[in-house]
């Protein structure tokens, strides 16, 4: 009699809870959560990991991660992460931040954390709008993009130009590893996981400050279907925010 064998194609990461997501349909946060959880499991650091989530959609992260997550005031996760990492240097500390948080009210915190070379990992989710508060213009809103506060489209000499965070932080000496990825296709999801795993590995090796920017979706505030939102990331966002490695001191030039 033949013995039946089972082959698992996918298992839910231990670093994710069983809670049902309340993110909007087509939102990229669920994909990014899963990637982070898989990386933490693969590195066997779940019991040592501490996440920091700020105000905004990112604040929901502590409902879904099955490890310690603390909340920080809007824009302040790098400061909180700095304090935790310096007090508990054996922990793996990361921040999970949106563009309105990191690139607006939190600009000073992220720049100076990078300048100090803090041994933390930053996951920066860029969807070009303030998601939780109904889609206002963010620092990363594209030129011409319509939001609730740029109803005719973002105009540079009225609203300012979009901020390219990776390009900015790559100029800072204290930054060790900076990369931008996206999640609009399976190959890009794989690249994103590889980048996030490298960032966590560098922290384990005590290399210093790493930031991974992930171009993501916000179908509700973009007023697009999930499929249209993925196409927007691929054609519009990636054109202005080119994916790639902007700095990696661990790789010889």
pLDDT at 205 over 70: yes
pLDDT at 177 over 70: yes
Cβ-proximal residues to 225 (8 Å cutoff; 6+ apart), any chain? 26, 219
* Residue range 93-142, pLDDT digits in tens: 999 999 989 999 999 999 999 999 999 999 999 999 987 778 788 999 99
45 with 92: CB under 8 angstroms?
Answer: yes
Looking at residue 199, its pLDDT comes to 98
Alpha-carbon gap, residue 109 to 78, rounded angstroms: 6
Looking at residue 253, its pLDDT comes to 55
Q: Model confidence at 59, in pLDDT bands (50, 70, 90)?
A: confident
- Ordered by where they begin, the domains of the chain are 29-248 (3.40.50.970)
Tell the burial category of 107 from Cβ atoms under 10 Å away from its Cβ (0-12, 13-18, 19+): middle
Helix then strand then coil, in percent of the chain rounded to 5, is 40, 20, 40
Alpha-carbon gap, residue 23 to 43, rounded angstroms: 27
Q: Model confidence at 1, in pLDDT bands (50, 70, 90)?
A: low
Looking at residue 5, its pLDDT comes to 73
The predicted model scores a pTM of: 0.94
Tell the burial category of 118 from Cβ atoms under 10 Å away from its Cβ (0-12, 13-18, 19+): buried
What is the number of other CB atoms lying within 10 angstroms of the CB of residue 193?
Answer: 20
Q: Model confidence at 2, in pLDDT bands (50, 70, 90)?
A: low
Alpha-carbon gap, residue 229 to 223, rounded angstroms: 9
pLDDT at 6 over 90: no
Alpha-carbon gap, residue 35 to 61, rounded angstroms: 13
CA 159 to chain centre: 24
Cβ-proximal residues to 17 (8 Å cutoff; 6+ apart), any chain? 63, 64, 65, 66
């Amino acid at each position: 009699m033949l013995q039946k064998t089972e082959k698992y194609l996918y298992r839910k990461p231990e670093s994710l809870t069983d809670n049902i997501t309340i993110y909007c349909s087509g939102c990229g946060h669920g994909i990014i959560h899963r990637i982070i959880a898989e990386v933490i499991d693969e590195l066997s650091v779940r019991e040592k990991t501490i996440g920091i989530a700020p105000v905004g959609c990112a604040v929901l992260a502590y409902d879904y991660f099955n490890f310690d997550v603390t909340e920080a005031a809007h824009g302040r996760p790098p400061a909180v992460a700095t304090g935790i990492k310096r007090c508990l240097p054996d922990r793996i500390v990361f921040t999970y931040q949106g563009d309105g948080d990191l690139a607006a009210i939190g600009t000073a915190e992220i720049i100076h954390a990078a300048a100090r070379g803090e041994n933390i990992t930053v996951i920066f989710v860029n969807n070009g709008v303030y998601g939780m508060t109904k889609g206002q213009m963010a620092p990363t809103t594209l030129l011409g993009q319509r939001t609730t506060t740029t109803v005719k489209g973002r105009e540079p000499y009225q609203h300012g130009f979009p901020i390219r965070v990776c390009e900015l932080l790559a100029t800072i000496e204290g930054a060790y590893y900076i990369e931008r990825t996206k999640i609009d296709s399976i190959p890009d999801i794989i690249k994103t996981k590889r980048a996030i795993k490298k960032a966590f590995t560098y922290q384990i090796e005590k290399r210093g400050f790493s930031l991974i920017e992930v171009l993501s979706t916000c179908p509700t505030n973009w007023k697009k279907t999930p499929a249209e939102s993925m196409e927007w990331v691929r054609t519009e966002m990636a054109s202005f925010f080119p994916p790639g490695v902007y700095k990696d001191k661990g790789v010889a030039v």
